[in-house]
Structure 1
Amino acid sequence: MAVYVDAAIWKHEGLLWCHMLADDVAELHRFATTRLGIKLSSYQGPPKTSAPHYDITGLERDRAVRLGAVECSREEIVAVFRRVKVPNGKVHRRG
């Protein structure tokens, strides 16, 4: 099993951010909370989004890579996203 990060290119609140995904949700949580010290409340997944992931800062990304996360191009992270996506995982609200 692996943990994956894409490039930190999204700007928000003065920081650059990226996505962190994994082949297994338990591994994703373990890596994020135990190895990186990220709060579980930062997790984003169904029903809010269709793929389990964390948005992490560029600094957290650098640490994740040093701890063994796999750096991915945009195309590669999209492939991971599709692989781990929960079918019908995102809830759409009708207005």
Structure 2
Amino acid sequence: MTVLIDPPNWPGPRDLMWSHLVSDSSLEELHEFAVRLGVSRRAFDRDHYDVPETVHARAVALGAEAVSSRELLQRLIAAGLRRRKRR
């Protein structure tokens, strides 16, 4: 069971760069980690949390594994937790 975070490479609100926070085992684990990290449930989007660059180091300090965006997506898909947007 691992929570993963990719580099803050995605431009977003407040002129910050953003990361994705996911679990490779369960959404329950992800939500519990987000609570410990102090991230609002409003930041959850289908299968991940969007977190600003200001949170990245703290997430890693709390135990999130820093991985590339590609690896994060691959592990999310392999875990069966990927949820695509509906068209």
Query: Which residue in the other structure is 2:43 paired with?
Result: 42
SS of 1:76's partner is: helix
Q: Which has the larger radius of gyration?
A: 1
Structure 2 counterparts to residues 33-72 of structure 1, below 5 A: 33=35, 35-45=36-46, 52-72=47-67
Offset from partner CA, 1:36-91 (integer Å, 9 cap, x none): 1111122111xxxxxx10010111111000000001012211212312214xx632
Cα root mean square deviation, aligned:
1.4
| Paired AA for residue 82 in structure 1 | I
Structure 2 CA distance for aligned equivalents of residues 61 and 91 of structure 1:
28
Q: Is 1:76 aligned with 2:77? A: no
Give 1:28 shift.
0.3
Q: Is 1:5 aligned with 2:1? A: no
Q: Matched residues, percent identical? A: 33
Instruction: Mark the runs of 5 or more structure 1 residues left unpaired by the alignment.
Output: 46-51
Aligned length: 83
Instruction: Mark the runs of 5 or more structure 2 residues left unpaired by the alignment.
Output: none
Q: Is the 8 A contact 1:3 1:20 kept in 2?
A: yes
State TM-score, norm by structure 2: 0.85
State TM-score, norm by structure 1: 0.79
